[in-house]
Structure 1
Amino acid sequence: MTNINTLFRNILHVNTAKFTKARFEVDSKGQYHLYVYGVVHRKHDNCCPICGKKGKPYDRRENVTRSW
């Protein structure tokens, strides 16, 4: 069986994050939403976790949680 971190990395094309939790919801219109929360590796802290483009510095604290 595949590790859940590996599964979310493959779905979101994110190679530099460790996922902490995921939430699956259905809204009032019947549309499905998957919310994934993770921590990006410190080396890639200023990069977009999906495209890898450099951006503005994020909060430099350890274990900053982001959502995709």
Structure 2
Amino acid sequence: MTNLKVRTASAPLDLEGGLASLRGDCARMSPHWSAHARDQQAPVTPSHIHGVDVPSKSAKLIDAMSDYGD
């Protein structure tokens, strides 16, 4: 999102946004963001993957929803 209050005369106001505007906003904000160190985890062996249990009410709710793009 474009913060209209921070714009100066040197940076033109782009009300429509667009990818270039978004990339510029992100570049200006990136010094304020910090990345957390990633923990190194060993891969899970397939024998430890047992599937997912979904409650029947949740499954019915998802089944009743329309597909993306309808």
Is the TM value for this pair above 0.5?
Answer: no
With a CA cutoff of 8 Å and minimum separation of 6, indicate the structure with the bigger relative contact order: 1
Q: TM-score, normalised by structure 2?
A: 0.19
> Larger helix proportion, structure 1 or 2?
2
Q: TM-score, normalised by structure 1?
A: 0.20
